[in-house]
């Protein structure tokens, strides 16, 4: 992953980038120049600049210092960092003066910057106990605070306004502080860079930007340090990086943060954040190439994340195949995690995913979903099994501040890297989904409550999507469907059911259980029509699992129920006969109680959803 980030940073560095601007947040649309007028000792402000990405780049908006880190940036979204000296570590003007003095810079451009700031402090902050109210100045200019997106520090001297961020000294100082600053505790020493492998001056403490994914490599625990001591020579052996590599890593990181971050669970309160880091094999890129590839990578991820039309998927695949960048040589690293205060909470890393794998997955899932949409006469997007839709039906344990993402992300890993995923894990998750919805036991799980129509349509559609997902996983070689059955010689007296069986690739024992569930669903429909909204027949199904003997007993109860509710018409009687014939000759295959429940519930879901959609 480090190599991939450094490679992206190398492209930016060789194309003249020193910093990448931070995103502009909030509703403000203007950039305010806070002007320290050295000619008359008054604070002035100019708000006539429209704030956009180009302005953020022009005025070096790279974000504020996180946590307890000192603020040394002169363009900020918080005017207190320029106007309030009562918090010395967060007052940029004072911190810049201190850093220049402590590090004894000899560069004349940096010393000139220091002299300008010393004049500002002398005239505007003589006791360093008084903060200026920018709102009063803005009101005089006919503006208010919420209109301002960014603030930058300027001075007026001899009638001329100097934008300090554009001074050569500030640019040199900022680049040093971002990429090459050591400290008294962790000085720069001769050593070997753990990134490029060269012997040169290296930082004994990388001090990567706080809250970013690079923080997973910060050495902040003594137990992980060579010699179990934070001495610089021990830090040197643990993780050392040269300033050049740090600059490229941070540039690469910024590019990923701005162009290649996606979320799964857009409609959920808890989202899974993903940083997509491409790796280029044997490719020399320009910045235009990098931007173009980033767009293709986002598009490729989006087609597996959420529903896209088949035409859109095919167009993307054709574009990738014909791309001058040689898509077969682009691999993706997907890092799951999020900023947590000044730290980064790492969740999972998927490595070396071929870019073409993503649209291939999307094309297969589309074709599988297409069959279900046709059976139920619905739009295909309602049957999508993209990552977004899988997340909605995949129960994950959660506490107040943590979701157990690993089972879901491991599934995505298997799908994208073509590695095995246990069949039984999908089945058990599906039955858990059914149990949560049946008993409305949503507490403690990161799973969406149905928004309208009650729990039953949501349960039915979700269970059937699990069937489609299993088919997809089988198609891509990630799972095996389990035990084979005897030769199938029974014709099902229902064309739609036959089409569904063909779509999902059931063995005969699975068909038998499914048809049993269909008949249970028929009884449930009759009970619902007679006012039993809870459907008492569902109490005959043990959501914790059912042995072969319990399945046989359920089959007997089902026949009796069909008679009692006068639902044993010719069609249902034919379905029952097919089910019973297949069930009796496949009893030895019913070894897994959870599997048995899943396929029975899938049949129930099919019959119930057919009734719901036809009624609608």
For residues 348 and 268, state if they share a domain. yes
Instruction: Please indicate, yes or no, if residue 326 is contained in any of the structural domains.
Output: yes
Residue 485's pLDDT is 47
- As a whole number, mean pLDDT of residues 26-50 equals 93
Task: Identify which of 502, 177, 518 has the alpha carbon closest to the alpha carbon of residue 371.
Answer: 502
Kindly indicate the confidence band of residue 225, based on its pLDDT and cuts at 50, 70 and 90: low
Residue 402's pLDDT is 84
Q: What is the pLDDT of residues 509-546, one digit of tens each?
A: 999 999 999 999 999 999 999 998 889 999 999 999 99
Distance (Å, whole) CA 587 – CA 549: 9
More confident of the two residues 452 and 8: 8
Residue 542's pLDDT is 95
Is the confidence at residue 83, as pLDDT, over 80?
Answer: yes
CB atoms within 10 A of CB 612: 16
Kindly indicate the confidence band of residue 227, based on its pLDDT and cuts at 50, 70 and 90: low
Distance (Å, whole) CA 161 – CA 157: 7
Instruction: Please indicate, yes or no, if residue 455 is contained in any of the structural domains.
Output: no
- As a whole number, mean pLDDT of residues 64-91 equals 93
More confident of the two residues 341 and 26: 26
Q: What is the pLDDT of residues 362-384, one digit of tens each?
A: 999 999 999 889 988 899 999 99
Domain that holds residue 411: 260-429
Distance (Å, whole) CA 83 – CA 35: 11
Instruction: Please indicate, yes or no, if residue 449 is contained in any of the structural domains.
Output: no
Instruction: Please indicate, yes or no, if residue 434 is contained in any of the structural domains.
Output: no
Listing DSSP states for 112-166 in one string gives: HHHHHHHHHHHHH-SSS-----HHHHHHHTT--GGGEEEEEEEEEETTEEEEGGG
180: CB partners within 8 A, 6+ apart: 188, 203, 243, 246, 247
Helix (H) or strand (E) holding 235: helix 232-238
For residues 553 and 507, state if they share a domain. yes
Helix (H) or strand (E) holding 331: strand 330-340
Kindly indicate the confidence band of residue 211, based on its pLDDT and cuts at 50, 70 and 90: confident
Instruction: Please indicate, yes or no, if residue 271 is contained in any of the structural domains.
Output: yes
- As a whole number, mean pLDDT of residues 108-124 equals 96
Listing DSSP states for 560-601 in one string gives: HHHHHTT---HHHHHHHHHHHHHHHTTGGG---HHHHHHHHH
Instruction: Please indicate, yes or no, if residue 7 is contained in any of the structural domains.
Output: no
Query: How large a percentage of the chain has pLDDT more than 90?
Result: 65
Task: Mark which of 179, 201, 227 sits at the end of a domain.
Answer: 179
Residue 223's pLDDT is 46
Alpha helices in 377-422 (DSSP H): 387-393, 406-417
Residue 480's pLDDT is 74
- Which pTM value belongs to this model? 0.87
For 185, how many CA atoms within 13 A lie in the half-sphere containing its CB?
5
Output the furthest CA–CA distance in the chain (Å, rounded).
100
Secondary structure of residue 481 in the 3-state scheme: coil
For residues 567 and 606, state if they share a domain. yes
Distance (Å, whole) CA 43 – CA 71: 21
Q: What is the pLDDT of residues 326-371, one digit of tens each?
A: 545 889 999 999 887 777 888 899 999 999 899 999 999 999 999 8
More confident of the two residues 255 and 284: 255
For residues 574 and 551, state if they share a domain. yes
Q: Identify the burial level of 341 via C-beta atoms within 10 angstroms of its C-beta, where 0-12 means exposed, 13-18 middle and 19 or more buried.
A: exposed
Distance (Å, whole) CA 362 – CA 355: 12
Q: What is the pLDDT of residues 150-199, one digit of tens each?
A: 999 999 999 999 999 999 999 999 999 999 988 877 888 999 998 899 99
Residue 219's pLDDT is 58
Residue 449's pLDDT is 80
- As a whole number, mean pLDDT of residues 409-422 equals 94
For residues 370 and 409, state if they share a domain. yes
Is the confidence at residue 269, as pLDDT, over 70?
Answer: yes
For residues 305 and 246, state if they share a domain. no
For residues 554 and 408, state if they share a domain. no
Listing DSSP states for 155-182 in one string gives: EEETTEEEEGGGSHHHHHHHHHHHHT--
For residues 237 and 285, state if they share a domain. no
Identify the weakest region by mean pLDDT among 16-30, 217-231, 260-274. Answer: 217-231
CB atoms within 10 A of CB 274: 24
**CA quadruple 36, 40, 43, 45: dihedral sign:** negative
Is the confidence at residue 230, as pLDDT, over 70?
Answer: no
CB 194 within 8 A of CB 241: yes
For residues 303 and 404, state if they share a domain. yes
For residues 502 and 608, state if they share a domain. yes
Instruction: Please indicate, yes or no, if residue 3 is contained in any of the structural domains.
Output: no
For residues 217 and 353, state if they share a domain. no
Task: Mark which of 409, 429, 449 sits at the end of a domain.
Answer: 429
For residues 59 and 146, state if they share a domain. yes
Phi, psi for 141 (deg, rounded to 5): -90, 0
Task: Mark which of 179, 194, 215 sits at the end of a domain.
Answer: 179
Residue 482, sorted as left (phi over 0), alpha (psi -120 to 50) or beta, turns out to be: left
Number of domains comprising the chain: 4
- As a whole number, mean pLDDT of residues 114-133 equals 94
Instruction: Please indicate, yes or no, if residue 440 is contained in any of the structural domains.
Output: no
Q: What is the pLDDT of residues 126-161, one digit of tens each?
A: 999 889 999 999 999 889 999 999 999 999 999 999
Phi, psi for 316 (deg, rounded to 5): -65, -45
């Amino acid at each position: 992953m480090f190599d991939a980030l450094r490679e992206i940073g190398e492209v930016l560095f060789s194309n003249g980038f020193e910093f990448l601007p931070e995103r502009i947040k909030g509703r403000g649309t203007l950039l305010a120049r806070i002007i320290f007028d050295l000619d008359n000792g008054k604070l002035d402000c100019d708000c006539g600049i429209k704030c956009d990405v180009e302005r953020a780049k022009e005025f070096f908006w790279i974000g504020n210092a996180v946590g307890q880190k000192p603020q040394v940036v002169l363009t900020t979204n918080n005017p207190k960092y320029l106007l309030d000296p009562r918090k010395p570590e967060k007052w940029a003007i004072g911190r810049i003066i201190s850093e220049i003095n402590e590090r004894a810079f000899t560069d004349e451009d940096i010393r000139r910057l220091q002299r300008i700031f010393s004049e500002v402090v002398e005239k505007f902050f003589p006791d360093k106990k008084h903060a200026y109210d920018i709102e009063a100045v803005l009101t005089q200019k006919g503006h208010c605070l919420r209109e301002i997106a960014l603030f930058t520090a300027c001075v007026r001297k001899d009638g001329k306004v100097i934008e300090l961020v554009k001074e050569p000294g500030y640019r040199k100082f900022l680049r040093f502080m971002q990429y090459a600053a050591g400290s008294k505790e962790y000085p720069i020493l001769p050593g070997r860079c753990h990134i490029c492998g060269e012997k040169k001056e290296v930082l004994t403490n990388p001090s990567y930007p706080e809250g970013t994914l690079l923080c997973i490599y910060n050495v902040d625990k003594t137990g992980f340090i060579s010699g179990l001591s934070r001495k610089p020579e021990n830090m040197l052996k643990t993780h050392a990086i040269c300033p050049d590599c740090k600059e490229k890593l941070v540039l690469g990181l910024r590019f990923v943060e701005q162009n290649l971050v996606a979320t799964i669970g857009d409609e959920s309160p808890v989202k899974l954040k993903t940083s997509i880091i491409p790796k280029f094999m044997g490719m020399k890129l320009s910045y235009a190439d990098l931007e173009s590839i980033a767009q293709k990578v986002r598009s490729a991820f989006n087609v597996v994340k959420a529903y896209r039309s088949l035409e859109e998927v095919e167009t993307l695949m054709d574009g990738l195949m014909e791309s001058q960048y040689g898509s077969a040589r682009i691999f993706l690293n997907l890092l799951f995690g999020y900023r947590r205060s000044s730290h980064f909470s790492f969740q999972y890393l998927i490595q070396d995913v071929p870019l073409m794998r993503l649209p291939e997955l999307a094309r297969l899932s589309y074709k599988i979903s297409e069959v279900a949409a046709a059976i139920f006469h619905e739009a295909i997007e309602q049957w999508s099994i993209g990552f977004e839709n899988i997340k909605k039906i995949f129960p994950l344990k959660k506490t107040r501040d943590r979701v157990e993402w690993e089972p879901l992300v491991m599934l995505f890993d298997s799908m994208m890297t073509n590695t095995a995923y246990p069949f039984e894990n999908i089945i058990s998750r599906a039955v858990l989904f059914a149990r949560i919805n049946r008993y409305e036991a949503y507490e403690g799980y990161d799973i969406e409550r149905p928004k309208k129509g009650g729990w039953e349509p949501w349960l039915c559609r979700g269970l059937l999507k699990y069937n489609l997902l299993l088919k997809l996983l089988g198609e891509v070689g990630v799972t095996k469907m389990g035990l084979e059955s005897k030769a199938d010689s029974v014709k099902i007296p229902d064309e739609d059911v036959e089409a569904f069986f063909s779509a999902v690739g059931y063995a005969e024992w699975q068909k038998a259980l499914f048809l049993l569930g269909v008949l249970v669903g028929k009884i449930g429909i009759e009970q619902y029509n007679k006012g039993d909204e809870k459907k008492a027949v569902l109490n005959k199904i043990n959501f914790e699992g059912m042995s072969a003997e319990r399945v046989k007993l359920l089959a007997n109860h089902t026949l009796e129920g069909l008679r009692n509710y006068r639902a044993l018409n010719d069609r249902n009687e034919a379905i029952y006969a097919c089910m019973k014939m297949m069930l009796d000759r496949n009893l030895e295959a019913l070894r897994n109680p959870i599997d048995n429940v899943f396929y029975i519930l899938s049949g129930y879901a099919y019959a119930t959803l057919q009734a719901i959609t036809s009624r609608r």
